[in-house]
Amino acid sequence: MMKRRLGSDGPEIGAIALGCMSFGGFYGPTDEATSHRALDAAWDNGITHLDTANIYGMGVSEEFIGAYLRRHPGRFTIATKAGNTRDAQRRFNNSPEHLRESLEASLRRLGVDHVELFYLHRREQALPIEGVMETMVRFKEEGKIGGIGLSEVSPGTLRRAATVHPIMAVQSEYSLWTRLPDLGLLNACAVLGAAFVAF
């Protein structure tokens, strides 16, 4: 499979990654054995990067991946996310306390001491992105994450965030349904050296 680099100095990964939201039952019932067969098939086809999040099955996706990695350590690079909540209000929480608690819980479920990429899943508009970035930078300095990602942000938010620290990747929908990234986000990623990760 062709390779792509995450950011200007991140790891090289397969050009196609595997999104693991379905492991958490989002599209219907699943189980660990089925998820592990999907991971085997992904590896056999040259996929080396997995994308998950703490809210995919409320941790189930990460638990299934963690169980797989215990048998196949180092096989995949991992991206996970935090900043969404699944409480009654379905709100965003970018506070330092919430992001740290979420990251630590993700690492425990995955059975690793760091992930290659940690995304802010959604931006909480009430908090300046520069302050949120300072929290993310601390995680990187502590060795818990390899790079900082942003999910579903505007070009302006990306540019502001990049004044604090380089962004490894920006994830956004780019499909037959929407071409919104053409309106500036793709260009901003190219200028700033951030990988654009389409779903």
Residues taking part in catalysis = 56
Q: Do β-strands 12-14 and 3-5 pair in parallel, antiparallel, or remain unpaired?
A: antiparallel
Measure the CA–CA gap between 160 and 71, rounded to whole angstroms. 41
* Local structure of 6: helix, strand or coil: coil
* H or E stretch covering 195: strand 195-198
Question: CB burial class (10 A; 0-12, 13-18, 19+) of residue 176?
Answer: exposed
Closest CA to 110 of 48, 53, 150, 39: 53
